[in-house]
Amino acid sequence: MKRTALAALGLGLVAALAASSGMATAATRSVATGDVNLRAGPGTSYPVVRVVPRGASVATHGCLKDYSWCDVSYARARGWVSARYLTTVVAGARVVVSPRVAVPVVTFGPAYWNRYYAAYPWYRRGPAYYGPANRGPAPRYYRGPRPCAGGCSGARVVTGPAGRTRVRRWHVNP
């Protein structure tokens, strides 16, 4: 009895770890409607991992928010396929993968690239495909007043709060 309880506890612990690590997420079975490129990212600019033949079954792990590209597995390869080339069965009818189909929304970025493509020859060119990390706008530095060669002058038309306009002129001697 003690041995059975320990085995059940161990099995429950393994199941909990698998669920928390993402191993237990179920993929939706889809079918390729034509010979389609399995790409390393969601777009035609990404390298081709392999070709999925027409009628091949793929595991769809999720799609981008707009359902334009889906993350799929085929023959031990992981990559992205245009959702237009994937169908799945819903209520007995074959439909194109779309928001109506219960496929989770996923994202793409450097972590995905590093996990699945480190062994490929084009792996090091990753940032050329998915872009550098977003670091925000470039810093702006104040360089002080600009020097005037031979003096600076200018004019500007200004409209005041009462609607009157006037010309403001200035001149700076070097």
Distance CA 155, CA 171 (A): 9
pLDDT at 147: 63
Distance CA 90, CA 102 (A): 9
Distance CA 30, CA 70 (A): 10
Average pLDDT over residues 91-115: 85
Judge: domain 25-120, CATH 2.30.30.40: yes
The amino acid present at 145, given as its one-letter code, is P
Contact 64, 42 (CB under 8 A): yes
| pTM for this entry | 0.60
> Which DSSP string corresponds to 85-106?
GEEEEETTEEEESSTTS---B-
Token match 């099995």: residue?
Answer: 11
The amino acid present at 3, given as its one-letter code, is R
Q: Residue 41: which of 51, 30, 49, 33 has the closest Cα? A: 49
Q: pLDDT, tens digit, for every residue of 126-174? A: 877 776 555 556 566 656 666 666 667 777 787 877 778 888 786 776 5
